[in-house]
Each structure stands twice: as C-alpha cells, then as structure tokens.
Chains A and B, each alone.
Chain A
C-alpha cells in the first residue's frame, strides 16, 4: 500500500520535488489515519452489536430510542456514540497511591500494540499496508506486546484487584499463545511461506470435490487445528468463558479497575481491536481470507473485502455467542485445558500434518 501510494505521489507534480523520506512519512500517515478510524468504528459497531445480540439472546430489546426525543437514536443506534462522548467529558482520576508514570504509559502500550498489528492484515487482494515476508510471525509477535501493558496497568494501580487481574491475565495470555502458535505452524508447513497473501492464495480452488480448499477442510489435522486456534484466540483476548482476569463478580474489573474516562476507553478500544484481530487471523489462516466460498465466483477486490468482513464478522458473532452460552471457567480448569489438552493435541497435530504431507508427496 505504501509503495502504491508513493507511486501515485511521483505522478503528482507539486509533490515530486519533495525529499523522498518526507513523502514516505506522508504516505504512511495517510494510511495510518483511516486505519485508526477503522479501529474506532469497529469498536463502536462491535459494542452496539454485542449489546443487541446479548439482548436478543436473553429475550430483551437492548438499547432503544426512548420516546419523543429518541435520545439514543432509532433502535438505540447512537448509544455507543453517546457513551464515547460521556467518556470524553468524564473526570480523569489517577489514584494518589498509583505509580503515575506507568499508570499513564499502560494504555499507550496496550493500544499501540494492538494498532500496529493491523499493518500486517490483508483486507483484500490489494489492501495490505505492508506485505512482510514474515507476516504471520510479525502478527503473533506484535499481538503479545499487549500483555506488557496489562501487567503495567495492574502493577501501577497499586490496587489488589488490579494486580490479581493482571497476573491472571498474563498467565492466561502467555499459556494460550503456545497452542495458538503450534496450530498456526501446521498451516505454515503446508504453505511453506509466512507471507499473509501467500497463505490466502494457497487456499484457492476446490478440495474433496465440492468443498473450497480452505485449510479448515484441507485435512483432518488442520480441522482440529482450526478449533484449537480459535478457542486459544478467544482465551488470548480474555473473553468469556475465559474472562477470569476481568471477572466482574470477583475482581471488579481486573487490571483496569482504577482507570476511568478516556484512559479506560483505550483499554476498551484495544480489547475490541484484539477481538477483530483474532477473528481476522482465523478467517485468513483457516477460512480463506478474501477468497470466495465458491472458487471463481464473485472474486473481485470489492467482493474480497465483503468475504473477508463476512467471515471475520461471523467469528466475532460466535465470540459473542460464546459469552451467553458458556459459564466462566475456574483458574485450574483454564490452565488444565491449555497445558493438558491443547498442548499435547497440537503437538500430535504437528506430527499428523507432517505425516500427511509426506504421504501425499
């Protein structure tokens, strides 16, 4: 994307005289701003969707416009916008006993850590900010920066709930990273490349006669890997049933108990950005990304965007569905599931995919 924009710049007469370094910064900025808007809008839409979906699952109406003035818009469409404005004009409180520097720094690290992951995510055939040759590895590495922000927030608050939440969160995130990465490796073995676009292009065509050649259908082992990857991803973003770090009924709000106003809003934004990243990664790696379910049918760049967002949106819906279906796990069950079930299974998966590949070739 940056190279494409630089090419466009060279055609414009009044820009061609500028130093190339400045043009590069300009191009990257012009891409970064819409991407930031996308992250913000994604959170607004996802919060509204979550409220409505949870309401319908519990046989309620959720946010609705109230009476004559329709305070929150029709069907409560402006509810999240109102929330954002409320957070902006809320008093900013830093507890007297908190470690001020770390307390202020934590939301920056958490949000920027989530934001730079979007650099490596391909939205369709052309919209990809930077096509790294280590694409998948970059995303796995950058998405684990957030845990530093979480520990920082929990430690600097000088609050017992925050510290408990942060430690639980860190233990959970680092534990589930292992099955996540191991199930990712099964796919990389079959593709032989870490580039995101290569992984998507490798899923072109049909398999078993009727099914699209997505890695979820490729062989029995990647089918299992899909589930391990997605469930570990849900655990990585601390969503129910893995929301022990923020368990409202025991830890108030976990690591962000002491945060309020805009600082809290950035934790929230990062959480929904991470949710989107997990859904996007699952759909890119196992569900064909921007590829159409029927090969060669509706395959243009516009449709690519449509297929990508439908797949990611469906997975986000599944995450919200989880929330109203499963009760919260206990800490020992959580760790047991990761180390005693997911880890051995993903190691066996690795063996299985290796044998499958040798057998076919």
Chain B
C-alpha cells in the first residue's frame, strides 16, 4: 500500500525537524549580542569593497552546458544497462552508434578548446598559427635569479 517513496517523504520531514531543533536550542542557549561590526560581510578583516555582484568567468556556463548534454546521455544509459544482458548484441550496436555520435560532439568541443579552462584566443602551434611559439621572456640575469617566470609571444618568422 505504501510505496518506498512514502518513507523518503517522512525522512525529509524528520530531517527538517532534526535540523531545526538544534537551531532552536542554539537560540535559547547561545548569547546574542549583535554589534554592527559583527554583522558586516567578511573580507579578511578589511571593510568590504563593493558587493558580491561581480563579473564571473564564462567558463562556468560552458561547463554547465557540456554537463547537461552528458547528463542526459547518462540518464539514457541507465535503462539500457539494465536490459543489456537480455538484448545482447543488438543493444550493444545500438548504443555504440549513439555514443559515437556523442563522441563526435566531444571531439568537436575538445578541438574548439572548450574543455581547456584557460582558452587561448589564438590557438598557438596549430593551423595557420603553426609558426607562433611561446618563448621565455628575455630578462636581465638579476631578475631571472629572483624568479621572473614571465613569458612573451614572439613571431619566429620575423625575428
């Protein structure tokens, strides 16, 4: 009569109660002497500069997009995996065709550089940029000793 998910529902309610109870207990036991300083946003002891509405790296968005594609694929694979033993070769061929199509997409985003966290606007060393190379920056000996690891891009065809 009662499904397993009924148990989960009751667990959710009990979980909420069991989280709320210690928080209530804390409200009774703990002191509450708020000062404006205590309520400021933490930023390493300094006064906070600006809000948290900062510009964000677009990479996170790309990762989320790639995730959605592969997550849907994984969901599709679950029922397939359950019946795999019964269907045998047929299921294997079917799914490999599907995975092959998806792999083309993976290879495409790989080649486009979307899997790299730091995406160079110029793909050094590939295609018409083949002759561009990253060479270490020429620095005075003293600076080099301190450890300046800077580098610069030089067109080796002209220099």
Contacts and interface: CB of A to CB of B under 8 A. Distances in A.
Given A28-B10, A340-B110, A358-B88, A92 B26 contact: yes
Contacts of B86: 192
Interface stretch (A108-116, A217-225, A283-291, A302-310): A108-116
Contacts of A36: 14-15, 18
Interface stretch (A45-53, A68-76, A349-357): A349-357
Interface residues of B, number: 69
Interface in B1-48: 1-2, 4, 6-8, 10-12, 14-16, 18-20, 22-23, 25-27, 29-34, 36, 38-44, 48
A238 interface: no
Interface stretch (A59-67, A127-135, A293-301, A318-326): A127-135
Interface stretch (B111-119, B126-134, B139-147): B111-119
Contact of A178 (B74, B95, B99): B74
Given A89-B26, A119-B8, A339-B115, A354 B84 contact: yes
Contacts of A112: 12, 15-16, 19
Interface string B92-107: 1001100100010010
B130 to A, nearest CB: 22
A181 B74 contact: yes
A354 B41 contact: no
A100 to B, nearest CB: 12
Interface stretch (A7-15, A260-268, A274-282): A260-268
Interface string A96-108: 1110000000011
B33 to A, nearest CB: 7
Nearest to B34: A93
B153 interface: no
B41 A158 contact: yes
B82 interface: yes
B141 to A, nearest CB: 30
B38 A93 contact: yes
Contact of A188 (B32, B78, B110): B78
12 contacts: A24-B2, A28-B11, A32-B15, A88-B30, A89-B30, A90-B30, A111-B15, A119-B7, A130-B4, A189-B81, A262-B22, A361-B88
Given A192-B86, A347-B103, A350-B99, 4 more contacts: A160-B43, A185-B78, A332-B117, A336-B117
10 interchain residue pairs of minimum CB distance = A332-B117, A130-B4, A112-B15, A28-B10, A96-B39, A188-B81, A32-B14, A115-B15, A181-B74, A262-B26
Interface of A: 2, 20, 24-25, 28-29, 31-33, 36, 88-98, 107-108, 111-112, 115-116, 119, 129-132, 137, 157-163, 167, 170-171, 174-175, 177-178, 181-182, 185, 188-190, 192-194, 252, 257-258, 261-263, 265-266, 331-332, 335-336, 339-340, 343-344, 347, 350-351, 354-355, 357-358, 361
